[in-house]
Structure 1
Amino acid sequence: MYPRANTLGIIVKDNYILLEEQEGKHSKGIGSYYRPIGGTIEFGERSNETLVREFSEELGVEVVVRGYISCIENIFKIDENIGHEITQIYLVDFKDRNLYQQEYFTVSEGNKITCAKWISKEEFFSGEKVLYPNGLKELLKEVI
């Protein structure tokens, strides 16, 4: 098994970040958890190109990559399974400024449908909401 290379986009609106809400078993327990929009980098694709593709595929929107934030290496365990991700993190904006007024976004990935919504930074900085990947909360405290 090899580490998975992926990329995530941070979209900020005032004191909120757009995050996909997921439900299930995760490395900190069972229940709701949140993650920025993004996905696996395909062979021959640059990580910033992946973000543009993923936002288009999953939300049906166009984004502009504003800048690179950092890389997070996340090694985690769910039950007896170990996961390993190397994640490129970018700051992105919606091309259509009107999308910032939208409260919810339907996220489609294959047969899986979830929701992305604006979550207050304080909700995950305080630990009230679980944010993945591990290390992202600390990174965002420094940069946003």
Structure 2
Amino acid sequence: MDAVFKTEQGIFNFRVAGVLVQEGHILIHKSVNDSFWSLPGGRVKILEQAQNGLRREFQEELDIDVQIERLLWSVENFFKFNEDNFHEIGFYYQVTINKDYEINTKPFYGIEGESLIYKWIPIAQLDEVELYPEFIKSEIKDISDYPKYIVVKDY
């Protein structure tokens, strides 16, 4: 069971995301029904360690085994989506892959079907993309040597 629950005030969500950078490109994804992009990852399950959840998500969605390098950002993200208020706790990890992975700059689907679209985008072009949370656009260009705690309040 995913670590997400709904109350009268809104929805609480525990999410992990991977920052996968290769050859100056970063991997992003979006739902086919959304206009915006985010970093690949997903919800952590109850009693699942966050890093294991991230490995599971990459395996399920892309059939990729990722190596967790380090925690980059701990994020409290407050936003509205589909008329619901969200309070999301997110851990964003720098990840690498152990095999050569071809960077495809054209959108592509993962192994789960056509519900999620993936794309490698040059980091230099991130400002041209609707990417959430927006702090990623600036933080990715100057990653700190130490994890950062970030609060995003979009409502």
Q: Normalization by structure 1: what TM-score?
A: 0.80
Deviation at 1:140, TM superposition (A): 2.0
Aligned length: 133
Cα distance per residue 1:23-53 (max 9 Å; x no partner): 545xxxxxx3211110111111111111110
Larger proportion of helix = 1
Give the residue type in structure 2 aligned to 1:41: V
Give the distance between the partners of 1:73 and 1:38, measured in 2 at CA: 16
1:47 to 50, 60, 83: 50
Write out aligned runs for 1:41-80 (5 A). 41-78=44-81, 80=83
Q: Does the CA contact (< 8 Å) of 1:9 and 1:51 recur in 2?
A: yes
SS of the equivalent of 1:3 reads strand
Distance 1:79-1:50 versus aligned 2 partners, 3 A rule: closer
2:149 paired with 1:140: no
Gaps of 5+ in 1: 26-31
Deviation at 1:116, TM superposition (A): 1.2
Cα distance, 1:64 vs structure 2: 0.7
Deviation at 1:113, TM superposition (A): 2.2
Q: Are residues 3 and 122 of structure 1, via their aligned partners in 2, closer, same or farther at CA, if it must alter by over 3 Å?
A: same
User: Quick one: percent identity of the two aligned structures?
Assistant: 28
Query: Which structure has the highest strand share of the two?
Result: 1
Report the residue type matching 2:40 in the other structure. Answer: I
Q: Say if 2:20 is the partner of 1:11.
A: yes
2:38 corresponding residue in structure 1: 35
Contact 2:30 2:37 in 1 (8 A): yes
Q: CA separation in 2, counterparts of 1:119 and 1:22? A: 16
